[in-house]
């Protein structure tokens, strides 16, 4: 009896019902990983946009300057904000080794694996166009000179709010992982 149960238990994983359950389980794990990856890439895209718009909002609020020409020489007076803006724009443009590069790489490889080459071509053209516009802003910030650059923004960063925001993000990512 004991030997027969061991033999039948050995064959149970090959039973059609168990294979279907195993298939559903593996499929659920794979889809969970794909959804988690998409969520992380979408979060990175959101944070990059928040950083870029945050710097632009600070400059607009404290100086009233909103044109690209107004950002000429911005690095000379506000180096920290300039680097935040540059990293955000590099990520949005998909320059390696930023997270935006990996997001676009995963997107294009997924498109290539399904054979949607028209989608890949349109996406590549849009990426090149966006790269041109993002690099225009970075060139204005770091390389161009301005007679009246944006003044130094001395607004202190509220550390307590930043700490609470980091704790909130950590809790959200712990819940999702």
pLDDT, tens digit, 9 for 90 and up, residues 119-130? 889 988 999 999
Q: What is the mean pLDDT of the chain?
A: 77
Asked if residue 145 belongs to a domain, the reply is: yes
Higher pLDDT, 72 or 146: 72
Asked if residue 27 belongs to a domain, the reply is: no
Per the structure, the count of domains in the chain is 1
Asked if residue 143 belongs to a domain, the reply is: yes
Asked if residue 53 belongs to a domain, the reply is: yes
Higher pLDDT, 175 or 121: 121
Predicted confidence at residue 119, as pLDDT, reads: 85
Higher pLDDT, 148 or 144: 144
pLDDT at 1 over 50: no
Mean predicted confidence (pLDDT) in 20-28: 60
Interval 29-82: pLDDT, tens: 666 666 777 777 788 888 888 888 888 888 888 888 888 888 898 898 888 889
Q: How far apart are CA 78 and CA 89, in angstroms?
A: 16
Q: How far apart are CA 151 and CA 74, in angstroms?
A: 8
Asked if residue 17 belongs to a domain, the reply is: no
Asked if residue 119 belongs to a domain, the reply is: yes
Alpha-carbon distances, residue 101 vs 17, 30, 125, 154, 171 (angstroms): 42, 23, 15, 33, 26
Residue 172 domain boundaries? 38-176
Asked if residue 107 belongs to a domain, the reply is: yes
Asked if residue 30 belongs to a domain, the reply is: no
Predicted confidence at residue 132, as pLDDT, reads: 92
Question: Is 120 in contact with 108 (CB distance < 8 Å)?
Answer: yes
């Amino acid at each position: 009896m004991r030997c027969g149960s061991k033999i039948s238990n050995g064959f149970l994983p090959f039973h059609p019902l168990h294979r279907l359950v195993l298939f559903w389980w593996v499929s659920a794990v794979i889809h969970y990983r794909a959804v988690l990856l998409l969520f992380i890439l979408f979060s990175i895209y959101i944070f990059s946009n928040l950083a870029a718009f945050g710097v632009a909002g600070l400059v607009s609020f404290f100086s009233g300057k909103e044109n690209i020409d107004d950002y000429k020489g911005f690095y000379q007076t506000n180096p920290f904000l300039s680097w935040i803006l540059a990293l955000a724009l590099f990520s949005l443009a998909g320059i390696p080794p930023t997270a935006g590069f990996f997001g676009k790489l995963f997107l294009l490889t997924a498109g290539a694996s399904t054979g949607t080459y028209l989608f890949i071509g349109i996406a590549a053209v849009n990426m090149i166009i966006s790269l041109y516009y993002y690099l225009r802003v970075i060139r204005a910030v770091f390389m161009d000179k301005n007679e009246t650059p944006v003044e130094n923004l001395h607004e202190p960063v509220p550390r307590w709010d930043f700490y609470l925001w980091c704790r909130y993000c950590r809790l959200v990512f712990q819940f999702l992982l």
